[in-house]
Amino acid sequence: MIKIYHNPRCKKSREGLAYLTKKCKDFILTDYIKEGLSEDDMKEILLKSNLPVESLVRSQEDVFKKELKGKKFNEDEWIQIITENPKLLQRPIVVSKTKAILAQPPEKIDLVL
């Protein structure tokens, strides 16, 4: 089952959702800003994407600029920070049974379909 972590207020996320909707009709839509994000969700994304956690952090967010910029955190600390501040997560992220990708540009979704 395909899952998309989506923020409806984000243009890139809306573009990713539109692309996924054209390609696949059966997927789970997760508004992680509203519904929250668990540590297990983050661990699954990191494991399946093979990306360092820092590459999934939105450095343009105020909370990053004011509280996190220039500081060093290990993976577990980043996971906790992101789950407590879900808008820090890059989006959209699309997860399949075996793979996860940051769908920027949206065409990267093809890699998990």
Q: Is 24 a catalytic residue?
A: no
How many domains does the chain divide into?
1
pLDDT of residue 92: 98
pLDDT of residue 13: 97
Phi-psi region of 10 (alpha: psi -120 to 50; beta: other; left: phi over 0): beta
pLDDT tens figures, 1-38: 999 999 999 999 999 999 999 999 999 999 999 999 99
Provide the domain limits for residue 79: 2-111
Q: Which CATH number belongs to the domain containing residue 99 in this structure?
A: 3.40.30.10
Other beta carbons within 10 angstroms of residue 97's beta carbon come to: 9
Q: Which of 8, 9, 10, 58 is catalytic?
A: 10
Name the band, by pLDDT with cuts 50, 70 and 90, for residue 105: very high
What mean pLDDT comes out for the span 33-62? 97
Q: Is 22 helix (H, G, I), strand (E, B) or coil?
A: helix
pLDDT of residue 102: 98
